[in-house]
Amino acid sequence: MKNPINLEGEASVPRMPDVGTESAVLPVSLEVKNTVPDEAPITANATVGGGNGGKPPKRCKNKDMRPREYLTCEEVETLTRLARKSTRNPIRDAAMILMAFRHGLRVSELCALSWRQIDFDAGRIDVIRIKNGYSSPHPLSGDELRLLRQIQRGKVASPYIFTSELGTPLSTDGFRKMLSRLAKKAGFAFCIHPHMLRHACGFKLANDGVDTRTIQDYLGHKNIQHTVTYTKLSMDRFHGLWKG
């Protein structure tokens, strides 16, 4: 038989040569053809519908999602009050919001806080900045110290201050979700994120008349241009300009 069997509508199967002949070599591979017509391969950037040419949708700009990138003192107080009433870990959550605001902490700096950074006798916290920022000691207020002592009395043994129910450090995503839930319960008209607490600290100090260099050191900025953002948007600078 010279040709392989080829039935109509069926795939062609090559005939195996007789053993011992020179042509008795197994085929390296058999090409499998796709019998489904007009089916394009799926790529990493493909999207359903293909309306945007296979590209992922663009992220909305911050100004389109919220009117500002900071919280007011009243909004921070609202979140802290709600955390004491409506969360599974009221003391921990209230303390995290308060300390992130009071010390201008980034969310990763907040979640990484450990007990060795706290000096109860001196009423001090050693703030360790990331992004090559300047670390510095900050004073702790009475309400912060009371919250920290309550956490210390009722928690499992851990070097970290803010932990989950399993005793592991609370993740940045966990804090972000908790903050979003509280904002929704508070009836905020816009979505919030943890970094707005750090900005709230900067604007609060600027509105209180604290000089730019002090704010720079307090927030750990290496570049003072990052600090000027708070002072140039401070409305209190213009008070009294039109007094007779």
Tokens for 206, please give them.
């600027």
Residues 89, 83: Cα–Cα separation, whole Å: 8
CA distance 80 to 141: 15
Active-site residues: which are they?
Answer: 106, 131, 195, 198, 221, 230
Contact 218, 104 (CB under 8 A): yes
Query: How far is residue 19's CA from residue 21's CA, in Å, rounded to a whole number?
Result: 6
Phi/psi of residue 124, nearest 5 degrees: -140, 150
* d(C-alpha 168, C-alpha 150), whole Å: 18
Please report, in angstroms and rounded to a whole number, the separation of the first and last CA atoms in the chain: 114
Tell me if 114 sits within 8 A of 160, measured CB to CB.
Answer: yes
- Pick the closest to residue 197 from 108, 117, 122 (CA basis): 108
